[in-house]
Amino acid sequence: FKFDHQVGLKPKTFYRVRVSAKNDVAEGPVSETKEFETAHSELPIPTDIRTSVAEDNTLTITFSAVRDPDDHSSAIQVTIGIDGSLLARSSMYWVKITASLDNPTRFVQASKPRWFRTGDGRLRTRAEIEGGPVIEKEPNLFETLQLVCRAEGSPVPEVTWYWNDDLIESEKEGWTVQQEQSERVTVSTLARSSVRESGLALCVAGNEDSNATAQVEVRVLGPGSAPRDVRAVGWRNQINVTWQEPLIANGVIMKYIVYYAVRDAADLSDWEKLETDVTEIQVPVMSPETRYLVRVQAATADGPGIISDSVECFSDKHCLLPLSHSVAIFRLRAIRGLLGQVQEMLWPCMIDPVKLGIWLLDNQAIVVNLVSTNVDNFEAEPNQTVVLRCSAQGQPIPRIFYAWDDQQENEITDVLITESTFHISGLFERSALTNQTVICRAENKHESVDVRKVLIIRKPGDVPTNITWSFDENDSLFIDWSRIRYPNGNVSFRTAERPITDVSIVQGYEGDHVVAASDATKRGDQGRQENLETAGQRQPQSAF
């Protein structure tokens, strides 16, 4: 019987053995005991040698080995590192593993050689921005935004920064860039004087051999600027407040918060507030000719943003107080004209039931009108010059403006004013190739009113261009033209023959290809109009 390695005998160990025989009936007597000692075992040769060469030629060798030469049941993982400066660049090397024992008489076999090659020793450029892929900040005009990029390479890389794909220049738009360099590392610090705008910061590190990038998303939790053009005007028993969206919204504006108070206070909890989802609101007031302060703040789903500065205004001197005042119509006598005629006028007045005082109300709501002077029903020919009149009536006399299709608004300065009726009007012109919306707006210190109308162009605004023609094998004529830019409805094309032999009437489709029908002149046709489809290219039809 042979004891192999599967029995698990240990080297240099005494063992006892007894043997017995056994047949189909029973087992016989056992022999006497015999003793034996196992010999020294051979050390296993490492066969799982792995080598790894880093960019700077640092060598890492790993393999498995036994800690006890006489006990192979416990294996360990061995890792050896060799400094890359000790190795020649771009050279071939081999490595062998041999165990070293205290007993020099025991033979230990070495492993087979493992070959590897060193590189040029240059580091590939790498870059990393501290702080993770996303940085969230509350909007703050007085906090400094700071980003640090660490770049490593050989030669030492140079670092440039980009914000939303635009190159950042130090000392411009609130940015500053500082860099520190060592033998292989560049540390670049990007700073901005405030936390206002969400965006993507990109760090680009490069040298003559390679480059690398790292990026971080800066997420500002709320609008980074205050609402613009905040205006507050006292009108009767309210203050009309208007504003425009902040320039730096950092998302979709969900609501606006309007704060108002009769005295300034650093703590916003001391202010009254209202909320709205539009860019105007009416703030109620309780007394005439009272100083009010108004501030406006925008908010997104992430949170509120920068609040505007205080805007000062005074409530109207003709403030109508609820429940304690009423309005009546008085018949007043007044002397008008050079001849001193006495005229009677109906005038609205406000009565204070306590003081029995009377104040004249001098406010009149704005009425706006928009008409065309040289076309009917706002319908014009393509490219025709249309003269429009914007007029308004209101007290105080308003200013008037016009705009086209929500483009930039223009004030009409050449106006005709009738002070006796508080009326103002002005003319402006426009020519168009397709339908356009015109806006006439009037504004005074109390309100802003606008009217919109559509200038209608029913005919096509331009003509077909790039007209070409060709004949096929059957002498059918093909005519092509480019699409028109301003169809202004369903497009029809008219093509007519000329009194020349073999010139035919054609039927076509709007697009890149139009087919002509031959032999039309033989029937005496002088022209034909066809409704043409407008979707894509069509195959030519057969001649008729």
For the ranges 8-12, 146-150, 335-339, the lowest mean pLDDT is seen at 335-339
pLDDT of residue 412: 94
Question: How many of the other CB atoms lie within 10 Å of CB of 277?
Answer: 8
Question: How many of the other CB atoms lie within 10 Å of CB of 231?
Answer: 16
What range does the domain containing 334 cover? 326-360
The β-bridge partners of 330 are 347
**8 Å CB contact between 532 and 538:** no
Which band of pLDDT confidence, cut at 50, 70 and 90, is reported for residue 528? very low
Question: How many of the other CB atoms lie within 10 Å of CB of 437?
Answer: 13
pLDDT of residue 120: 76
Higher-confidence residue of 103 and 544: namely 103
pLDDT of residue 274: 95
Q: Average pLDDT for residues 397-414, to the nearest whole number?
A: 91
- How far is it, in rounded angstroms, from Cα 97 to Cα 108? 10
Distant-in-sequence, close-in-space partners of 269: CB < 8 Å, separation ≥ 6: none
Which band of pLDDT confidence, cut at 50, 70 and 90, is reported for residue 524? very low
Q: Are residues 7 and 61 in the same domain?
A: yes
**8 Å CB contact between 445 and 362:** no
HEC-encoded secondary structure of 395-426: ECCCEEEEEECCCCCEECCCEEEEHHHCEEEE
Distant-in-sequence, close-in-space partners of 106: CB < 8 Å, separation ≥ 6: 40, 69
Q: Are residues 82 and 153 in the same domain?
A: no
Q: Are residues 71 and 180 in the same domain?
A: no
Residue 526 has pLDDT above 70, yes or no: no
For the ranges 143-147, 156-160, 505-509, the lowest mean pLDDT is seen at 505-509
Write the DSSP symbol of residue 195: B
Q: Are residues 428 and 473 in the same domain?
A: no
Q: What CATH number is attached to the domain comprising 157?
A: 2.60.40.10
Residue 89 has pLDDT above 70, yes or no: yes
Which band of pLDDT confidence, cut at 50, 70 and 90, is reported for residue 69? low
Q: Among 457, 475, 493, give the residue marking a domain's end.
A: 457
Q: Average pLDDT for residues 263-283, to the nearest whole number?
A: 90
Percentage of the chain modeled with pLDDT above 90: 39
Residue 138 has pLDDT above 90, yes or no: yes
Q: Are residues 180 and 283 in the same domain?
A: no
Q: Are residues 84 and 159 in the same domain?
A: no
Token pair, residue 27, equals 């087992």
Cα distances from 31 to residues 17, 20, 233, 281, in angstroms, run 9, 6, 121, 112
pLDDT single digits (tens) 230-260 = 999 988 788 999 999 999 999 999 999 999 9
Q: How far is CA 526 from the centre of its chain?
A: 58
Residue 319 placed within a domain: no
Torsion of CA 376, 377, 379, 380, to 10 degrees: 30
pLDDT of residue 4: 62
The β-bridge partners of 376 are none
Q: Is 153 helix (H, G, I), strand (E, B) or coil?
A: coil
Q: Are residues 181 and 269 in the same domain?
A: no
Question: How many of the other CB atoms lie within 10 Å of CB of 541?
Answer: 13
Residue 539 placed within a domain: no
Q: Average pLDDT for residues 514-524, to the nearest whole number?
A: 41
Residue 513 has pLDDT above 70, yes or no: no
Q: Average pLDDT for residues 523-532, to the nearest whole number?
A: 40
Q: Is 469 helix (H, G, I), strand (E, B) or coil?
A: strand
pTM of the model: 0.46
**8 Å CB contact between 448 and 403:** no
Q: Are residues 20 and 131 in the same domain?
A: no
Write the DSSP symbol of residue 38: -
Q: Are residues 2 and 111 in the same domain?
A: yes
Q: Are residues 412 and 387 in the same domain?
A: yes
Residue 520 has pLDDT above 70, yes or no: no
Which band of pLDDT confidence, cut at 50, 70 and 90, is reported for residue 537? very low
Q: Is 21 helix (H, G, I), strand (E, B) or coil?
A: strand
CA neighbor of 251 nearest in space, from 293, 223, 286? 223
Higher-confidence residue of 117 and 496: namely 117
Residue 425 has pLDDT above 60, yes or no: yes
3-state helix, strand and coil shares in percent for the chain, rounded to the nearest 5: 5, 50, 50
Q: Are residues 232 and 285 in the same domain?
A: yes
Which band of pLDDT confidence, cut at 50, 70 and 90, is reported for residue 407? confident
Residue 321 placed within a domain: no
Residue 195 placed within a domain: yes
Residue 106 has pLDDT above 80, yes or no: no
Mean of the per-residue pLDDT values of the chain: 80
CA neighbor of 4 nearest in space, from 44, 38, 43, 47? 38
Residue 336 has pLDDT above 50, yes or no: no
pLDDT of residue 71: 65
Q: Among 86, 104, 120, give the residue marking a domain's end.
A: 120
Residue 537 placed within a domain: no
pLDDT of residue 461: 82
* Count of domains observed in the chain: 6
Q: Are residues 106 and 90 in the same domain?
A: yes
Q: Average pLDDT for residues 191-216, to the nearest whole number?
A: 92
- How far is it, in rounded angstroms, from Cα 271 to Cα 258? 9
Residue 525 has pLDDT above 50, yes or no: no
Residue 361 has pLDDT above 60, yes or no: no
Residue 540 placed within a domain: no
Q: Average pLDDT for residues 271-299, to the nearest whole number?
A: 92
Token pair, residue 122, equals 């240059």
Q: Average pLDDT for residues 397-405, to the nearest whole number?
A: 92
pLDDT of residue 506: 47
Q: Among 86, 120, 154, give the residue marking a domain's end.
A: 120
Q: Average pLDDT for residues 338-356, to the nearest whole number?
A: 45
Which band of pLDDT confidence, cut at 50, 70 and 90, is reported for residue 97? confident
Name the burial class of residue 56, with classes exposed (0-12), middle (13-18) and buried (19+) by CB atoms within 10 angstroms of its CB: middle
Residue 536 placed within a domain: no
For the ranges 98-107, 111-120, 295-304, 413-422, the lowest mean pLDDT is seen at 98-107
Residue 160 placed within a domain: yes
